[in-house]
Structure formats: C-alpha cells, structure tokens
A and B are shown apart, each in its own frame.
Chain A
Amino acid sequence: MVLAGTILALIVGGALVFSSAALGLLARGSTHISSVVFNHFVLGIGLGLFIAAVAYIIDMRTWRALAPYLFGASLVATALVFIPGSRIRTRRREALDRPWLYDLPTI
C-alpha cells in the first residue's frame, strides 16, 4: 500500500508540475504544445497506467518464461535505430517531441 501510494503521489504530483512546466513551452510560442501534452497525458500516463495494470496482473512465472525473449526483442528494437531510412522518421519524431529545438531560437 505504501509503495502504491508513493508511486501514485509521484504520478499525480508529477502531472501538476508537468502542467505548470508546459506553460513555459506555450509562452515560448510553440505550435506543438497540444501534441506534446497529448503525448504525455494520454499516451504516457493513460496508456502507461493500463500497461501497469496489465503488468500487475501477469504472473511471475510468465515474466520468468518471457524474460530471455523480451530481452532479445528489446535489443533488436533498439538496434533498429541504425537501419537507414528509419532515421527520417526518427528525426521527425524528435521534432515533435522536442519542438523547442526546432522552431525556437536558442537563447
């Protein structure tokens, strides 16, 4: 219970601080603010809580059996970054994720 409460406090408190920090991005005139906030709250926290619930239900025996395959799959997925062509998409993604690096002058 303490552990669950701590994690919940971090997520709720974190969402508050994130909202406040997002004002900074808004004030800097970014046009991607809604996609950044959507990405964080819906995909990050929303989908994240769903995945956490699924991970909570899955039995340890399943994790144990899947461990080598998950490690292998994660290595392959990370190595995919090096395939030429995927870089274009990565850069676009990067521009969406960190728009201040792209449309704003560095002070």
Chain B
Amino acid sequence: MKIGAVLFAAFYFSQMREETGTWRGIAAFLGIMALPICIMLLQPDFGTLGIITISVFSIFVAAGARARDIGAIMLASIVILGLLSLTPRYSYVYERIDTFFNPAEQNALGDGFQIRQSLIAIGSGGIAGRGFGQGVQKFTYLPEPMGDSIYAVLAEEFGFLGGTTLIGLFLLLAIRGYAVAARAPDLFSGLLAVGLSTYLAGEAFINIAAMLGMAPLTGIPLTFISQGGSAMLVSLAAAGILLHISRRTKNATA
C-alpha cells in the first residue's frame, strides 16, 4: 500500500501540473488519502498511516502545493489526531503520546517500559559500544530486539559512533534520493523519487526517534534492518525503483 499510494500520488500530481497550486491540488491530496485513512483507522494502524501520509504529502509539496494548503493539512492532521485520541477506540494513541511527554511519570514496568529499556541499551553503549554481539539488553528486558527496537541493540553494541553512522547513512540516502528527484528526466519520475526517498528515510527516522524518546512509539520498523520479510520486500522494491530513476538521470545528463 505504501508504494501503491506513492506511485499513484506521483502519477496523479504529474498529470495535474500547474493545477496542484489551486483548490484541485488539496482536493486530490484528500482524495488519494481518503481510502488509506479509512482502512488504516479500521485496522487500526496509525504508524503505517503516518508514513503513507508523510510520503504522499511530500509529493504534494514537491508538486507545487500552496503554502496555506500545506499549513492547513498539517494543522488539520494534528487536530484530528488529537480528537481521535480522546475517543475510547483510539485511547491507546492518547496513552502513547502521554508516555512520550511524561516518560518518567509512567510506571517503569507499564507504559514507560519499552522506552526506558531502549534508553538503557543506547546509554550503556557509550561512545564505541560493547562490541558486536556483546549487547546485554537483547537477552533480558528489551522488547522486540529484532523488530522495532533493533536500533537500541545496534546502539548498545556499536555505541554512539555506530548509531550516528546509521543515522548518517539514512541521511545520505535521503539527500541522494532528493538529488535524483531534482535531476529526474520527467515530472512523474521526480515526484516518485521524492515520495520513495521520504518513505525510506522517514520510516527509519520515525523509528530511531521513538527509540531515543524524541517521538512517541508507533510500531514502525527500521527500514532495511528490522525483522519482517514483507516490510523488507517493500523497502527493497522501493529502492529498486529509486535506483532505476537514478540510472535514467545519469543517462539523460551524459
């Protein structure tokens, strides 16, 4: 669904061209997002919905959205998420956000458990880490060491240096991806490159931010690294498309 939505958004906004800057642009954004929002609210899966929204939103912005439309969507998203978190069905969203703002006040064995354990792991890694395979937290209290918490395992074993290297790699991925987008041979390829780069790097940054206590825990995996065959398939397919656009760019300039 992530790649499907990004492909379709790039397709639709590349057809619209200048009209993206009119009311039709914001209507198209809402139209593309309507069904994914309904499905993800029913599941419910706010993490996946968040990354799809951010990816499609980045395409909308790159396609030439008006500043006031961008502001309106951001404001509306925050307000709607806030209102939803007050309803009983989505009360867990409220709890996650509450844990994020008040990690110390939460029960260390309850809601605040995961963030506490991931911070212990990251902190005990120090500058250079305990060494490959020497991490302790993965054997004991860290939940999902191969899944969402894998960044904490990496930071414990490879330390601050390893953790920042990984962040640097994802940053490089985003920068190169956007550079490919800027030099893409046509509008569709360019918008697609923006969406795919945002998806790959954005997912990683949301995951790492959650591990560091800089964002609420969302259950988003770490791109290319977390356990999960299907998530890996989707990420690698996105990488393949991005590399194809990159190759076309080189051919076009040569």
Report which A residues bind B (CB closer than 8 A).
2-4, 6-7, 9-11, 13-14, 16-18, 20-25, 27-28, 36, 39-40, 43-45, 47-49, 51-58, 60, 63-64, 66-68, 70-75, 77-79, 81-82, 97-98, 100, 107
Contacts and interface: CB of A to CB of B under 8 A. Distances in A.
Chain A's interface: helix, strand, loop or mixed, by majority? helix
Contact of A43 (B158, B229, B235): B229
Given A73-B4, A74-B1, A64 B240 contact: no
Interface residues of B, number: 69
B96 to A, nearest CB: 18
Given A48-B237, A81-B43, A10 B8 contact: no
Nearest to B233: A48
A70 B4 contact: yes
Chain B's interface: helix, strand, loop or mixed, by majority? helix
B206 interface: no
A17 B43 contact: no
Contacts of A78: 1, 36, 39
A36 B246 contact: no
Given A70-B4, A107-B140, A75 B35 contact: yes
B227 A3 contact: no
A17 B176 contact: no
B157 A64 contact: no
Contact of A10 (B139, B147, B223, B242): B223
8 contacts: A20-B138, A21-B150, A21-B227, A36-B227, A40-B232, A51-B240, A60-B188, A66-B7
